[in-house]
Amino acid sequence: MKILVTGGSGMVGRSLRALFPNATYPSSSELDLTDSRAVKSYMGQGRFDSVIHLAAHVGSLHDNIENSTLYFDRNVLMNTLLTKYAYESGVKNFLGVLSTCIYPDATKEFPIPESSLHNGAPHFDLMSYSYAKRSHAVQLDAYKNSFGVNYNYLIPCNLYGAKLESHRGRSHFINDLIYKICAAKLNGERGIVLFGDGTPLRQFMHAEDFAKVIFAYISNNINASFNVAPQVNMSINEMARIALDVCECDTFTVSYDSSKPNGQHRKDVNTSLMEKYLPDLEFRSLRDGMSSLFQAEYQSLRDLK
Ligand code: NDP
């Protein structure tokens, strides 16, 4: 199978490389997915059978609010161009990666099923990124229904994983949390400050676990789109307490800067379709995932001192 993986240098992409060592992984300097001519020419004719599309402009809630135009323009361009030229070049299998933030903000149906995707607008703070991702679902469904190709998408919950230099200034909540605790510990401080009020509920998955889900999806020739998340749905404050415990800082205080936004209150997703197609999945606990992040982060900050 000739597989193209975009976003191979990212948090999920790095984990996927070990699972698909023979796939092609162009960097953004080799293939800028926002450049229509470059995408068309790169895809050629019959060069790939399958595409796993991970590349995206991704970042924190704060960065999404500050730079919303980038989140819309870049993601819409990348998704639209790659899907169109993949189809025209003869690609029969396309797997897109969306995000649970695409679901309606005002929904009352929890955990959120895939069928509620178009039942309302996403949360305002992530509007650009969410609508760009939601549009990709519309595009992939249209290609599948119009042309009978296996064009699908997975909808993962929030991710965390090994720290990347490219995430500087826009890292994700769990990574940021562990960083804050390690920095406070090394500076002799006794507490941390988090944005919002600590009440929002979130599901988190390690990027390596998500890469294994993608591998299982492709290996089992699945032709369906569905949510991907572990069952656990925890408040930000609960996660902070676990992180402090893992980092051996359980006497630290956690204060909240409630002048900063919380984001969507709750967005846990229904995973019955995932369990139907992939019944044997296992996800590491947040405690185990945080523990490996802590070892790496603490060591690297200590080396810098
Ligand atoms: P990262 O931010 O770690 O990596 C993004 C990747 O996209 C990089 O490899 C980058 O390449 C590539 N990329 C960005 N712009 C371009 C471009 N113009 N042309 C080509 N490639 C580009 O992402 P993650 O691994 O965290 O995310 C993987 C997928 O999962 C994404 O689709 C994301 O939306 C989705 N997702 C992520 C979540 C999260 O919490 N991180 C949550 C839910 C879904 P380069 O390094 O060469 O610039």
| Residue 218, CA distances (Å) to 154, 223, 231 in order | 12, 9, 22
Q: Which domain holds residue 190?
A: 166-198+234-268+285-304
Residue 185 contacts by C-beta under 8 Å, 6 or more apart in sequence? Answer: 247, 249, 298
Residue 127 lies in a domain: yes
Residues 174 and 104 in one domain: no
- Please tell me whether the overall predicted TM-score, pTM, comes out greater than 0.95 for this model: yes
Residue 305 above 90 pLDDT?
no
Residue 277 lies in a domain: no
Residue 294 lies in a domain: yes
What number does the ligand 1 atom closest to the CA of 29 have? 47
Residues 155 and 101 in one domain: yes
Residues 117 and 146 in one domain: yes
Cα of 170 from ligand 1 centre, angstroms: 12
Instruction: Tell me the average pLDDT across 81-99.
Output: 98
Pocket of ligand 1 (CB under 6 A): 6-13, 27-28, 31-34, 54-58, 78, 97, 99, 156, 158-159, 164, 166, 172
Residue 163 above 80 pLDDT?
no
d(CA 178, CA 247): 8
Residues 129 and 222 in one domain: yes
Q: Report pLDDT for 168.
A: 61
Cα of 82 from ligand 1 centre, angstroms: 14
Kindly write down the DSSP assignment for every residue of 258-274, as one continuous string: TTS----S---B--HHH
Q: Report pLDDT for 206.
A: 98
% of the chain at pLDDT higher than 90 = 92
Confirm if 192 and 184 have CB atoms less than 8 A apart.
Answer: yes
Where residue 103 sits, what CATH number does that domain have? 3.40.50.720
Instruction: Tell me the average pLDDT across 12-38.
Output: 98
Residue 31 lies in a domain: yes
Residue 140 contacts by C-beta under 8 Å, 6 or more apart in sequence? Answer: 83, 94, 96, 151, 152, 153, 225
Choice between 145 and 62, residue whose per-residue pLDDT is larger:
145
Residue 278 lies in a domain: no
Residue 276 lies in a domain: no
> Average pLDDT, whole number, for the chain?
96
Residues 12 and 117 in one domain: yes
Q: Atom 36, ligand 1: which residue's CA is nearest?
A: 99
Residue 211 lies in a domain: yes
Confirm if 204 and 160 have CB atoms less than 8 A apart.
Answer: yes
Residues 116 and 250 in one domain: no
* pLDDT digit string, tens, across residues 195-219: 999 999 999 999 999 999 999 999 9
Cα of 305 from ligand 1 centre, angstroms: 30
Q: How many domains does the chain have?
A: 2
Residues 112 and 170 in one domain: no
Cα of 254 from ligand 1 centre, angstroms: 30
Residues 111 and 184 in one domain: no
Residues 37 and 148 in one domain: yes
Look at the block and give the residue holding tokens 């990348």. 78
Residues 178 and 243 in one domain: yes
Q: Atom 1, ligand 1: which residue's CA is nearest?
A: 10
Residues 172 and 30 in one domain: no
Amino acid at 175: N
* pLDDT digit string, tens, across residues 104-113: 999 999 999 9
Residue 169 above 70 pLDDT?
no
Q: Report pLDDT for 167.
A: 64
Among 19-23, 284-288, 299-303, which stretch is predicted with the lowest mean pLDDT? 299-303
Choice between 305 and 121, residue whose per-residue pLDDT is larger:
121
Look at the block and give the residue holding tokens 């895809």. 43
Residues 259 and 296 in one domain: yes
Cα of 86 from ligand 1 centre, angstroms: 19
Confirm if 220 and 206 have CB atoms less than 8 A apart.
Answer: no
| Residue 145, CA distances (Å) to 41, 100, 148, 149, 238 in order | 26, 23, 6, 8, 43
Residue 170 above 80 pLDDT?
no
Q: Atom 16, ligand 1: which residue's CA is nearest?
A: 28
Residue 273 lies in a domain: no
Where residue 293 sits, what CATH number does that domain have? 3.90.25.10
